[in-house]
Amino acid sequence: MITTPFSTPRDLLRHAVSRFNAAKLFFGHGSSDALDEAAYLILHTLHLPLDKLDPFLDAKLLPEEVHQVLAVIERRAVARVPAAYITHQAWLGSYAFYVDERVLVPRSFIAELIPESFSPWVEDAFAVDNILELCTGSGCLAIMMADAFPNSVVDAIDISTDALAVAEQNIRDYKLEGRVNPIASDLYANVPFKKYDLIVSNPPYVNSASMAALPPEYLHEPQIGLAGGDDGMDLVRKIVEGAADYLTPNGILMVEIGNEREYAEAAFGHLGLTWVTTSAGDDMVFLLSADQLRK
């Protein structure tokens, strides 16, 4: 039997942090640093509670458990695979979602706004009947919105049938069949022609210069979910241009554009964008009312 100098999660944690730092990994898919990611991967691989590292730090591991963890550490360090693709799990707030290489690893500043039901822009969460999410990917935002707006039906749109297969699995996991409807469509092309109280999107918005400089971790993700053209606004323009036809008179459009505020202002500033405050500041998510879009 092959032996290793590691026998406890504490040993493996130290090794993983050193390994990740030496490999100069990029942490942009849920973990903030090497320690956070190492702890998550170790606990997940050992089937331990993800929020309880300390009680297990000095537990004696079986040799096969040590080798399982070491294999995960090496895959993360050498192949630069995002942790979520290794564990097939990603978290947004208190929600866990199944993910694989068919979808982007879920990450969204809009997710921070959902538990408050988009207050103060939405006055009554129970009065929201129809929500349209464009570029749903794994379906994570659609599922969270179905919970936050309990009387709503959410139409979850994506051009990728591979992504929608992942979304369907998450919809089943949360038992939201019939309330969250995955629809294959190039933006509005196959959308049911009805009026929506909310149109929400976290679309591909990375500009071409930034795409060329992406860390290796992002190259494992479907590039169709990232690339937004020269200024990042290719799909955003289409979303803004079509939204008025699908919004109720008091409806709103909310779009996440990451670090592209400068380009968004250049493209849509004349409409009077409202920038929504998130944990990253006031540059990541903009809002437009149906009245603004119609004018």
User: Mind listing the pLDDT tens digit for each residue in 239-271?
Assistant: 999 999 999 999 999 999 998 999 999 999 999
- As beta bridge partners, residue 227 has 206
- pTM here is 0.94
DSSP 135: S
The whole-number pLDDT of residue 193 equals: 87
Residue 236 C-alpha from the chain's centroid: 17
DSSP H stretches of helix in 179-229: 208-211
What distance in Å separates the CA atoms of residue 13 and residue 8, rounded to the nearest whole number?
Answer: 9
The whole-number pLDDT of residue 217 equals: 95
**Tens digit of each residue's pLDDT (9 = 90 or more) over 81-122:** 999 999 999 999 899 999 999 999 999 999 999 999 999 999
**Tens digit of each residue's pLDDT (9 = 90 or more) over 47-84:** 999 999 999 999 999 999 999 999 999 999 999 999 99
Q: Which residues 6+ apart lie within 8 Å of 9 measured at CB?
A: 42, 43, 46, 53, 56, 57, 58, 59, 61
- As beta bridge partners, residue 206 has 227
104-294, what's its fold?
Answer: Rossmann fold (3.40.50)
Closest CA to 254 of 94, 93, 115, 121: 121
The whole-number pLDDT of residue 3 equals: 58
Tokens found for residue 285: 């998510």
Domain boundaries, the chain: 9-87, 104-294
Q: What's the CATH class of domain 9-87?
A: mainly alpha
Backbone angles phi, psi at 65, to 5 degrees: -65, -40
The sign of the torsion formed by the CA atoms of 47, 146, 113, 27 equals positive
Closest CA to 122 of 199, 231, 236: 199
Indicate the SS3 state at residue 107.
coil
| Alpha carbons within 13 A on the beta-carbon side of 150 | 2
Element of type H or E holding 283: strand 281-289
Q: Within 10 A of 33 (CB to CB), how many other CB atoms are there? A: 12
pLDDT > 70 in the chain, percent: 99
